Amino acid sequence: MKLKINRVVLVEGKYDKIKLDSLLDATVLTTHGFGIFKEAEKKALLRRLAKERGLIVVTDSDGAGRVIRGHIASILPKEQVIHLYIPKIKGKEARKTEASKEGTLGVEGMEADLLRSLFAPYAVDADTDVAPTEPVSKFRFYEDGFTGAPDSTKSRAKLAKELDLPDDLTANALLEAINLLGGLPLYESTLARMDARSEESFKSSTDKT
């Protein structure tokens, strides 16, 4: 049985994600290696996710992993981040032709039981579990004018601002952020709040005339 983790899990690469996806019922994101240093959208998403749900960081136990951890620590408040550390074990993953520079196994090469033991303290009990939320579809996003319309860019900027997200996120990045943060319920409540504010503003302007 997979461990249910409500915090967002951050790993370095896609094979680390594949390994943890097989063990955890969790949102697992990647840094794309050192890509996190220059991906502004990913940083913005991590800041909001860390604030809302908390973040668990697990990287390889080598120099690159330490550099990535240091960068994460520099952009996120420490109380929002949990750092898990895998042991240094000499070896090479089966899919690789050569060992890593430091000759140690990464997250993908760790034994399943070891990884489960690392995450076990943060697993959610069945009694405190929450039901998954329905995601916002790309078609719904299009229907509501956030893609494919002449003013879609301005509309997305307003929506992002309402959600305390950067107003220059691409359509895909904004949709991903919404679905990770709360899905359809969050989306619809945000739109309702924006509509109510617009109606109130319109009523106020007409009353003055």
Q: How do residues 81-93 score in pLDDT, each as one tens digit?
A: 999 999 988 888 8
Range of the domain at 103: 3-128
One domain for residues 42 and 142? no
pLDDT tens digits along 47-86: 889 998 999 999 998 888 899 999 999 999 999 999 999 9
pLDDT band at 205; cut points 50, 70, 90: low
Note the pTM of the prediction, 2 decimals. 0.77
One domain for residues 160 and 112? no
Whether the per-residue pLDDT at 151 is higher than 90: the answer is: yes
For the chain, what is the mean pLDDT? 87
Q: Does some domain include residue 67? A: yes
Burial of 131 (0-12, 13-18, 19+ CB in 10 A): exposed
Q: Is the separation of the CB atoms in 76 and 56 below 8 Å?
A: no
Q: Does some domain include residue 200? A: yes
Predicted pLDDT at 130: 55
One domain for residues 22 and 112? yes
Q: Does some domain include residue 169? A: yes
Longest dimension (CA), the chain: 77
Whether the per-residue pLDDT at 180 is higher than 60: the answer is: yes
